[in-house]
Structure formats: C-alpha cells, structure tokens
Amino acid sequence: MSIDDKNKESTSYDASNITVLEGLAPVRKRPGMYIGGTGIDGLHHLVWEVVDNSIDEAMAGFCDKVVITLNADGSVSVDDNGRGIPVDKVKATGKSALETVLTVLHAGGKFGDGGYKVSGGLHGVGVSVVNALSVWVKAEVRRDGKKYFQEFRRGVAVEDIKEIGESEETGTTITFLPDPEIFKVVEFNYNSILSHCRQQAYLTKGVMISIYDKRDKSLKQSEGNPEELIMDDDLTEEEKAELQKNMRTGRGGADDDESIEDSPNSYSFYFEGGIVAYVQHINKSRHDITEIPFYVEKEVDEVMVELALAYTDDFKEHVYTFANNINTAEGGTHLTGFRTALTRAINDYAKKNNLQKNMSLSGEDVREGLTAVLSIKLRDPQFEGQTKAKLGNTEVRTIVESVVATSFAYYLDENPGEAKKIIEKCSLSARARMAARAARDTIIRKGALEGMTLPGKLADCSSRDPKRSEIYIVEGDSAGGSAKQGRDREFQAILPLRGKILNVERARLDRMLSSDEIKALIVAMGVGIGEDIDYSKLRYDRIIIMTDADVDGAHIRTLLLTFLFRNYFELIEKGHIYIAQPPLYSLSRGKEKHWVYSDSEKDQKLAEMKAKSNDNVTIQRYKGLGEMNPEQLWSTTMSPENRILLQVTVDDAEEADEVFSMLMGDQVLPRKRFIQSHAKKVKNLDI
C-alpha cells in the first residue's frame, strides 16, 4: 500500500481498535520492572518505546518518515507521518484514545483486531510508561484534516485533548522530558540513538529515519556532519538528490521554527535495499567471498520471513536475528530453523555435486565467515522475558526452516560459482576445526601428564574464592616483578606477559594455541577455550589488564581486548574485564607529592600547587609500570582504596564487532580512514 493511499484506510483504525488490559499505577513505584532499570539503558528505552510506535506505522504501510530530535531543554521529540493516534473516545475508559494509550498500561491498537497486523511494540511497556516516567509529555496528533494537542505531567493529563488547528498532513509527534527523580542520568547518548535508528532503517526498507541534535555542544558525544544522509550505495544520482531534498518534514517538537543550521549534529538513514544493504554494511571491513548476496522474502501462514546472507573470509560468524524489528540477541526458534536449513542445504548440494566426499559439514563449519540478517514478522510473537531477547514461537522454526531450505538450495543451483566458493570455505573450516581440536586435546593431555595445571609464570593468590580473587595481566617481566612484590597476595594474582601477543582477529584456534602467552592466559582464567568453554569455572572475578601508558602499552591492551572479545564475549558482557589506570605523572615539591592520571588533572593540580607557593615543582612522567617501585605501584594502581579501574562494557555488540574487524583485520583502507577521522581526538600520544 502506498503512503498516498493511507488516508483511505484510516477509518479501519479508530477508537474501537483500542483495547485496555490494565492500569498504570505501579510504574513510577517500580520503574525497573518496566524498562529494566533507571540507568542509561532504561533512559534510552524510553526513546525506543516511542520510536517503535512510529516503526509499527511504517511496517503497516502508513509511514515513510520518522524524525527524532534531541531538544536543547533535554527533552526528546519523535515525529512521524503515519495515520496519527486516534482521538475519539474509548468506551472502556471514557477518555480519548490518545489519553488512553498515554495513561493506561497495555492500551493500544496492537491487542485487538484491525489496528496492526504485526508490531514490535506489542510486548513492550508502551508509551504510557514513557508518560509515567517523564516530567511532562506533549502529544500532537494530525488526522482527519485537524490538529490536536494534549499535555501530561508525570503520567496525568493536564487537561482534556483539544483541537488546535487544521492540518493537511497526518501523523503524531510525542515530546517528553525524562524525570530526574527517576533516572540517575538524563543525558541521551547521541551515538546510541544513531546506532539504533540505523538498524531500524535497514530493517524497515524505504523509510527515512532522521536524527537531529539541538543540545549544547558540551552534551554531544559525536561530531556529526551537518545534514548527512546515509543511504544505499547503488541508488542513482537522481534518487539520491530526491532523498536529500525530502530529508525533513519540517516538524520536530518544541522548536519548529529553528532552521536546519541550528542542528549541527544531524543524520538521516534511508535504505531501499533493506537487510541486503545491512549485510553489506556489516561486511564493509571484510573480504567478500560471495559476490552475489542471497536474499529471500516470503510469507507462510501469516509469518513473513526475510533473510539476507553473504560469506566472507572471516573466521567468525556474524548472524543477527529480529522479530518484528526487535533484536533477539539470544536467538530463538527462528534462528534454530535457519541454522538447520543452512546446514542441510549446503551438505545436500555438496553431496549432489561431489564437492565433499569424505565427511559431512557441521553447523559450525557452514557458519564460519557467514554474515546473515534474519528478520521475521508475525502477528503474535512470544518472547522469553521482558527484554525480548529470545523468540519462543514453536511454529516459526518449521516455517523458517522450510523457506530457507528451499530458497537457499535454489540459490546454490542458480549460482554454481558462488556455491563452489561457499563449499570450499566450509571445507577449509572443517579441516581447521579438526586441527584445532587435535591441538587443544594435545595441550590438555600434556598438562595432565606433566601435572602442570597452572602456568609457571603465574603468581597465584592464596584465596580460592573466585568472587574475592582478581588477576592482573601485566606487560613485561619488569612490571610483573614490581606487581608481584607490591600486591596483596591474599586475593591478587599476577600474570606477566612477554611482548605483544598474537593478533587473533585473523587466527583460528589451532594457531592461537601455538602461542605460549595465549596458552598461559587461557589456563590461568580456567574456563577453557572454543566449544568447551565453561564460565562457571572462572578462577577470578576481576580480570585486570595493566599495561604501560604509552603507544606500545595501548597496542598490547588492544590485542588482549581483541582476544577476549572474540573468544570470551560473556566475560565482557558480565563485567569481569577491567583496565587499570596507572598514573601519568607525579608532582613533587619538598615532602609534598601528588599522583595524577591525565594531562588535564596535571594542569589543574600544578596550578593549585603554584597558587600555594612559588617553589619549583618537579614533574615526572611515567611511561612504564617498571619505572615505579612495588610500593608506588601498589598505592597508585593496585590498592582497592586508591586505584582507578575502568570496567570494559559493550553497549552495542554489532558496532564493537565492526570496530575490532576494522582496526585488527587485514583491510587497510577502512583502518586508514578511521585513523584519519579520529586523529585529532587522541590524547597522550607519544611521538
């Protein structure tokens, strides 16, 4: 259905479609039950809930433009050109439909019939929770030739809905200000919003999603290019020019009269190619094996299955699954069906064409180097848990398996050149897997025969309680010696590593296990490696990377993080990985001595010291941990009372994966561009 025809169908979406399930009362009392927490993730959850409503309109075919604006006063506006929330009265509440969906939990057009066929927001907490957790919400609706407005304060309507004018357009604008009484932080992260909106634009092809930042520059986490439109590379110049012309609706909440120049941070996303363009985006820092990506879109029993995939020479799989545009990070029945069909289709083709005679390829073999985006849309998704991380609909597995098996088999038959390259890649993976297993078994067997359960260079702690224990991974024997002498032996273990470890971004398991430094680290952590990982055997609750404060130290830290990210992602996800912060300078004058950890802190402390006295201050720059004696290393970097530890977290696994591939992979051009664009932001650079 075209956008031009949407008004003809709008009569099927009115107050009779609004179904009320329960009230709103408990939201402010226990917000964590509805948005997962009151930290930065919960804050952004508010934006996703409102954006999801606009995306639902787009999936229903009634919206092709969504505008998110971060306003100067800290509020957020989400504007769309959909049908507009209904404004007539709902019998069950006696209130307007707009007031009902904004004040009653689980009230909306997604529970009954006639509102939406599919919805990403169905199992979400809804815009009513956004209303409850905001200082104020302002709602503007454009439909039936008129414009309506209603304002709310902490979930309660200030006044009844009122007509404020005429409008030839349709759509809804929701503007809300998060409540500082609820949230620990009320500053939105621009990059997080960009990443989420880019993903939604890929999943909803043909819809333009724009983000504008009107906040003070000091609040911005990104230096965006004015009015940058990110779109498919294969669009014609005429199509690109037309998109540039129509980037903005002219609406956007509180500051409608401001010009585009008042929003220096602004991006728009538009992808006609949908998830095919998404796969190409994910693979932009990798070498493609398949020149022709596979794509299928097919509906079976009211379940729409959409899949795009391609193979690269990478050693990891990158598969992203979605149900009604919700990222199912833990997979579910749709992922199971896809994996089963892919393995069977490739093995059947290889057998039929005598390309794999000696053995069958395992699921692990056929997924090495695979990049895939699987998106399904269904009427009644059953998610496991409030976070919606896993899909549970049993019927979906059979449907996805059938669609993928048939369509991918056809793709292989129609593209024998691509099929041969895929089979060769999978066969190489199978041989490498067997070699890696043999290498791992050999290491385990040797360790058992020699009675060497822990590496000799490890100075272990006396405590056997993992919750109390921590291990410092230290650069070099010199720093390792100081750390061993300065540590608290009760709960601190020290593992010195010699030199730079292997870059595992382009290394299979058998090659990793040939590195003595990596083997020592694997054995010390205690959880195993590869398919035998058991995180319950982790020997230390905190794994702390402690390297020199120079370029080599930063490189070693990056190599260690690459190893951990690629092989022990759950350790990062569960907050076990930390980075120690040794001091950069000591400032001394007589008996007075201060340790500082950054150039800005040094300048500030130096000014304070010179304000007290004109005597000379001695400044010492510490580039290496070995330059400090054990007492200094303990008091500045290892003592729980004084130290600064940075916990390694992953806000966006897809973006992190992209950065590691770009920085540590073998594609030079993307890395060069990254360095050039970020060079001015580098601090403490040694030249």
CA distance 85 to 653: 34
First to last CA, the chain: 60
CA distance 249 to 387: 32
Has 552 been annotated as catalytic?
Answer: yes
Counting beta carbons within 10 angstroms of the beta carbon of residue 581, is it exposed (0 to 12), middle (13 to 18) or buried (19 or more)? middle
Q: What DSSP assignment string belongs to 119-130?
A: -SSTTS--HHHH
Has 475 been annotated as catalytic?
Answer: yes
The one catalytic residue among 49, 64, 548, 657: 548
CA distance 216 to 207: 29
Contact 191, 221 (CB under 8 A): yes
- In total, the chain counts a number of residues equal to 687
The one catalytic residue among 313, 552, 573, 655: 552
E-strand spans in 58-188? 65-70, 76-80, 134-143, 146-153, 156-157, 162-166, 171-178
Question: What distance lies between CA 510 and its chain's CA centroid?
Answer: 30
Close Cβ partners of 192 (under 8 Å, ≥ 6 residues apart): 44, 651, 652
Cβ of 160: how many Cβ atoms within 10 Å?
Answer: 9
Has 599 been annotated as catalytic?
Answer: no
Element (H, E) at 306: strand 303-311
Cβ of 431: how many Cβ atoms within 10 Å?
Answer: 11
CA distance 451 to 439: 18
C-alpha distance from residue 609 to each of 589, 602, 605, 618 (Å): 9, 10, 6, 11
Has 548 been annotated as catalytic?
Answer: yes
Under DSSP, the state recorded for 169 is S
C-alpha distance from residue 2 to each of 58, 244, 372 (Å): 11, 20, 29
Give the burial string for 340-369 (b: 16+ CB within 10 Å, else e): bbbbbbbbebbeeeebbeeeebeebbbbbb
CA distance 488 to 497: 20
The one catalytic residue among 475, 517, 654, 657: 475
What residues are labeled active site? 475, 548, 550, 552
